Amino acid sequence: MDALFDEKQAAQMLACSVAALRKWRLLGKGPAYVKIGRLVRYRHADLMAYLDANRVQPGQKEAA
């Protein structure tokens, strides 16, 4: 079973603000999340996948 993180914990893990996570959800961007009723939770694996997907190698062109 994968650990679930609340918004504050996920924001700390991604080094961003809770407001940024909320904005990304509104825009359909950011890491995948789980809705449990009104609660929003993030799986550890989804946060890691999001970080990996946004990794930029030196000398590599960034996607726009």
pTM: 0.84
- Whether the per-residue pLDDT at 64 is higher than 70: the answer is no
Quote the pLDDT of residue 63. Answer: 64
The predicted structure's pLDDT at residue 60: 73
SS3 for 3-37, per residue? CEECHHHHHHHHCCCHHHHHHHHHHCCCCCCEEEC
List the domain boundaries for the chain.
4-53
**pLDDT number for residue 30:** 95
11 Cβ neighbours under 8 A, 6+ residues apart: 17, 18, 20, 21
The tens digit of pLDDT for each residue in 8-56 reads 999 999 999 999 999 999 999 999 999 999 999 999 999 999 999 999 9
pLDDT score at 2: 83
Strand order in the sheet with 4-5: 4-5, 39-43, 34-36
